[in-house]
């Protein structure tokens, strides 16, 4: 089972700033099959990125994903007020099981 | 518009059983693998089970293997999760999630709103 470790646990930033979130895998993620989700309180997760770097339908271009192997990054170029949320990475290169990271909270 | 609507959650005693359902609409149900993903209070999501579009292939997380059974009725566009021998650690919001693939489970482009399962005496 691939274990995903996200850092930092919490990121305190202001609107307009750049956010850089990391996701490290315990072993190489096959074919860079890594997704990122955003979750707001009381809501289900929302798909942002798949295949490490492809934005899902309707996702603003301020969100970008990068990385390969065991190290992946989600970048939010300029934080909007609606971007303050918890972000999770998920691997699907070695499944089952599909596994999620523990999350990074982006707060004001 | 894709919609996934879970039902069946509630309070159950340890050792008890519960059956969750997910009604799907807005897409060709049989063309998508479907998963159940749960999230304990204050924790990250945990994938627990996937079923292929045809229903012929299923996988489970070790934490629920032998206790939970996933199934689907493509004629009714419904996904189910039968949960037996429930434990306190099964307490979570349970989401059904639509996979982008037909097969073994990949990532999820749509999620339901979730249903809360509480296991407590």
The pLDDT score that the predictor gives to residue A17 is 96
CA A47 to chain centroid, in Å, comes to 9
Q: Mutating which of B26, B42, B45 best tests the A interface, going by the most A Cβ atoms within 10 A? A: B45
**Parts of chain B with a pLDDT under 50:** none
**Alpha carbon distances (Å) from B74 to A76, B25, B52, B56:** 39, 11, 11, 12
The pLDDT score that the predictor gives to residue A42 is 93
The pLDDT score that the predictor gives to residue A96 is 84
The pLDDT score that the predictor gives to residue B33 is 96
For residue B29, give the DSSP letter: G
Please name the residues in contact with B41: beta carbons below 8 A apart, sequence gap of 6 or more.
B91, B92
Instruction: Determine phi and psi for A14, rounding to 5 degrees.
Output: -115, 155
What is the percent of chain B where pLDDT is above 90?
A: 95
- Kindly state the average pLDDT of the residues A67-93: 96
pLDDT tens for A22-79 read 999 999 999 999 999 999 999 999 999 999 999 999 999 999 999 999 999 999 999 9
- Out of A47, A92, A102, name the one closest to residue B109 (CB): A47
Distance in angstroms (rounded) separating the CA atoms of residues A25 and A52: 13
Is A19's pLDDT higher than 80?
yes
Q: Mutating which of B35, B108, B114, B115 best tests the A interface, going by the most A Cβ atoms within 10 A? A: B108
* A50–B60 CB contact, under 8 Å: no
Q: Does A13 touch chain B (CB under 8 A)?
A: no
pLDDT tens for B12-39 read 999 999 999 999 999 999 999 999 999 9
- Kindly state the average pLDDT of the residues A83-105: 94
Which chain B residue has the Cα nearest residue A86? B44
Which chain A residue has the Cα nearest residue B113? A44
* B104–A95 CB contact, under 8 Å: yes
């Amino acid at each position: 089972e691939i274990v995903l470790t996200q850092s930092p646990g919490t990121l305190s930033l202001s609107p307009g700033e750049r956010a850089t979130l990391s996701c490290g895998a315990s072993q190489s993620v096959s074919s860079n099959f890594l997704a990122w989700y955003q979750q707001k309180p009381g809501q289900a997760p929302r798909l942002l990125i798949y295949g490490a770097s492809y934005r899902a339908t309707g996702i603003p271009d301020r969100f970008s994903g990068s990385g390969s192997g065991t190290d992946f990054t989600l970048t939010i170029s300029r934080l909007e007020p609606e971007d303050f949320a918890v972000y999770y990475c998920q691997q699907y290169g070695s499944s089952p099981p599909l596994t999620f990271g523990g999350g990074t909270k982006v707060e004001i | 518009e894709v919609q996934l609507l879970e039902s069946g959650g509630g309070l159950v005693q340890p050792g008890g059983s519960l059956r969750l359902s997910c009604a799907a609409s807005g897409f060709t149900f049989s063309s998508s693998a479907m998963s159940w993903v749960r999230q304990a209070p204050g924790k990250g999501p945990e994938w627990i089970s996937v079923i292929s579009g045809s229903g012929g292939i299923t996988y489970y997380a070790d934490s629920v293997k032998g206790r939970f059974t996933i199934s689907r009725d493509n004629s009714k566009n419904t996904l189910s999760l039968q949960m037996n021998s429930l434990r306190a650690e099964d307490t979570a919001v349970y989401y059904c999630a639509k996979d982008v693939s037909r097969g073994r489970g990949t990532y999820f482009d749509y999620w339901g709103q979730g249903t809360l399962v509480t296991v407590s005496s």
